[in-house]
Amino acid sequence: MYLKTLIILVSLVSCSTNYKLAKLGKNQTRKEHEAVGSKYMITTPGKHASLAGKKMFEKGGNIVDAATAITFVLSVERPQSTGIGGGGFLLQKSADKIKAWDFREKAPLRSHSKIFLDKKGNEIKNKSRDGIFAAGVPGLVAGILEIHQKEGALPLKDVIAPAIDLAENGFTVYPELAFALEVREKVLFSYPSTRKIFFKSGNVLKEGDRLIQKDLANTLRSIAVFGRDGFYRGQVARQIINENKKWNGLISQKDLDLYNVKQRTPITGEYKGYKIISMPPPSSGGIHIIQILNILEKFDLKSWGIQNPKTIHYTASAMQQAFADRAKHLGDADFVHVPVYGLTSKGYAEEVRSKLTDKARSKEDVYPGKFSKKEADHTTHFTIMDDKGNVISSTQTVNGFFGSGLVVSGAGFFLNNEMDDFSTKPGAINLFGAVGGSKNLVEPEKRPLSSMSPSIVMKDGEVVMALGTPNGTRILTCVAQTILNYIEHKLPLYDSVMALRYHHQWHPDKIWIEEGFPEKTLADLKTRGHQFKEGGIWCKVQAIARENSKLIGVSDARGRGIAVGE
């Protein structure tokens, strides 16, 4: 309690002096977003999810049981962000190793690189975003079950029970869910299977209505009894295939049988003595977080100040370069060559740094790097830590709000719209405004490029922090900024998460900024040649830090997640 009060006092003092924090979400107070514990700590974007994780520890379960329960509850509680029709990544540190689990969706066998183009080679509007063709083969269930089967302590039926209960009995529609429903109302209304669940008397559900998902509860029961086969074979598989047949979609039983979870080697880098560990391709997150930190490492950001225009200018310029490289070099490394070593090398960071001045570079002045081929080769996030040194950091998604908008009839879950994370053609723009290159074109069984970045920071062999966030391309810049806020600017964890954020992704050629930066900061950045757009950063960082054997949890107070610990 004393430590918590001290943290709050320190952050209030520092906040009043030289940096600004973001506004809290609607009806949110700081209290539920922050917790201190010593046995375990959980931060998720959903209250039911955090409490389900806590229940697993209380039942004698381990960190994997908590992660599994949280995954399934989030699938029910946040259908706009994630779901069993989606996929994700999970970074897991145990006493002796670190594993990077990839359960990203895959392109169906019958897909091809021109699937989203008409005969003239033009993009077919929204085909990669709405409806059946937007959906990749789901990976979430296979992923979390494989991890649970290998390392969980409690029976599967016990860890899925909270999700079944929530789906069966329902919960009250909260403001963010109501907002997402309103944004996607037209698409959701167009599918009878979606309408049946998310509309009442012809109207989309509103804040305060009850959302009950009985079909989803039955699908979860099937998974609880039959494991992977309860989703990828049998009745649920037939429901997925029938939905595809109904809309001339591509996913077949063979796609479901072939879905495979991958364990990959995490990406690692170093920043001023801290080890940064994050997700490798098909996520671009780890590579570009490390690239951005490498570029910034030789600047004295701390003495310039966290929200000083010079700090913002150089940080945004590093982000701009990262996204120029992303468009050119990134894709599923199982299919294309990704120059991981080059992009994350200190030498390349030096080369980029030598091109940076006090003035902004225009988009046309920023070239992707050249690397030798011979070298070594809208989402949700939760973070958990325990007193045994175990850490789980996982980002999961159906991509945009409610994925494809199409609920599998009778099975009660949305198919994702992750196919939009592929390049529909070289140079095309995805849902998050990012440019796609030829390495990220659709190919059967390929995984679309992602920005999801579950990450862990260590020093001298000890975990310092673990974190991640949703929000498409903004994910990697929000994670990089939160790491910088904590280890470079030495802010308390709450302020590191809540400090105002900015984002540059090379295209379009501007800095997105959160509301609240002083006019004089923006005026200074304008004189350097930057343009701005206010808004458009919706990251909700879930972070845990270890400070003197205490576990400090912060669930981004822009959202309605909670931190719970003991």
**CA–CA dist 230, 549 (Å, integer):** 41
> Smaller CB distance to ligand GLY: residue 44 or 451?
451
| Structure tokens, 449 | 């490029």
The first and second tokens of residue 178, run together, are 């109501």
Least distance in Å: CB of 417 to ligand GLY? 9
- Considering the complex, state which of residue 37 and residue 143 has its C-beta at the smaller distance from ligand GLY: 143
Can you read off the two tokens belonging to residue 281?
A: 């391709």
From the CB of 155, what's the least distance to ligand GLY, in Å?
A: 31
Q: Least distance in Å: CB of 399 to ligand GLY?
A: 4
CB of 331 to ligand GLY, least distance (A): 13
Question: At its nearest, how many Å lie between ligand GLY and the CB of residue 476?
Answer: 9
Question: Which residue out of 71, 315, 379, 397 is catalytically annotated?
Answer: 379
Size of the site for ligand GLY (CB under 6 A): 8
Task: Choose which of 321, 399, 477, 481 interacts with ligand GLY (CB under 6 A).
Answer: 399
Q: Where does 152-268 have alpha helices with state H?
A: 156-169, 175-183, 185-189, 192-198, 214-226, 229-232, 234-246, 253-258
CB of 87 to ligand GLY, least distance (A): 9
Please report how close the Cβ of residue 284 comes to ligand GLY at its closest, in angstroms: 8
Q: Which is nearer to ligand GLY, 332 or 421 (CB)?
A: 421
Alpha-carbon gap, residue 390 to 259, rounded angstroms: 28
In single-letter form, the type of residue at position 511 comes to I
167/541 with CB nearer ligand GLY: 541
Closer of 167 and 319 to ligand GLY (Cβ) = 319
Strand partners for 544: 466, 553
Q: Please name which of 143, 103, 83, 99 lies closest in space to residue 447, comparing C-alpha atoms.
A: 103
Burial (CB < 10 A; 0-12, 13-18, 19+), residue 462, is: exposed
Q: How far is the CB of 472 from ligand GLY (least distance, A)?
A: 5
The tokens for 469 are 């966030």
Q: Which residue is nearest to ligand GLY (CB)?
A: 450
Q: What angle do CA 13, 539, 439 make, to 5 degrees?
A: 140
Residues with Cβ within 8 Å of 45's Cβ and at least 6 positions away in sequence, in order, are 74, 78, 81, 380, 381, 382, 470, 540, 542, 555, 556, 559, 560, 561
> Are the beta carbons of 213 and 173 closer than 8 angstroms?
no
Q: Can you tell me which residue has the tokens 């697993």?
A: 56
The Cα–Cα gap between 93 and 198 comes to: 38
Which residue, 142 or 301, has its beta carbon nearer to ligand GLY? 142
Given the complex with ligand GLY, which of 57 and 401 has the nearer CB atom? 401
For residue 478, how many C-alpha atoms fall within 13 Å in the half-sphere facing its CB? 29
Structure tokens at 111: 């897909």
Beta bridge partners of 276: 269, 457
- Restricting to residues 257-286, name those near ligand GLY by CB under 6 A: none
Residue 268 three-state SS: strand
**Phi and psi of 316, rounded to 5°?**
-65, -35
Phi/psi region, residue 210 (left: phi>0; alpha: psi -120 to 50; beta: rest), is beta
Measured distance CA(31)–CA(510) in Å, rounded: 35
x/- binding map, residues 68-97, to ligand GLY, per CB under 6 A? ------------------------------
Query: 101 burial class (0-12, 13-18, 19+ CB within 10 angstroms)?
Result: buried
Q: How far is the CB of 152 from ligand GLY (least distance, A)?
A: 26
Sorted by sequence, the CB contacts under 8 Å of residue 510 that are 6+ apart come out as 504, 530, 531, 532, 533
Which lies closer to ligand GLY via its Cβ, residue 62 or residue 399? 399
In what helix (H) or strand (E) does residue 395 lie, and over which residues does it extend? strand 391-397
Q: Which of residues 463-522 bind ligand GLY (CB under 6 A)?
A: 472
Instruction: Name, in order, each residue with C-beta under 8 angstroms of 274's C-beta and a sequence gap of 6 or more.
Output: 457, 458, 459, 464, 487
**What is the smallest separation between the CB atom of 418 and ligand GLY, expressed in angstroms?**
6
Residues from 403 through 422 that contact ligand GLY (CB under 6 A): 421
344 is catalytic: no
User: In this structure, is the dihedral angle defined by the CA atoms of residues 70, 106, 542 and 404, taken in order, positive or negative?
Assistant: negative
With CB under 6 A as the contact rule, the residue among 82, 239, 397, 496 that binds ligand GLY is 397
The single residue among 113, 311, 379, 390 that binds ligand GLY, judged by CB under 6 A, is: 379
Q: Of residues 428-457, which lie at the interface with ligand GLY (CB under 6 A)?
A: 450-452
By the criterion CB under 6 A, which residues form the site for ligand GLY? 379, 397, 399, 421, 450-452, 472
Catalytic sites, residue numbers: 379
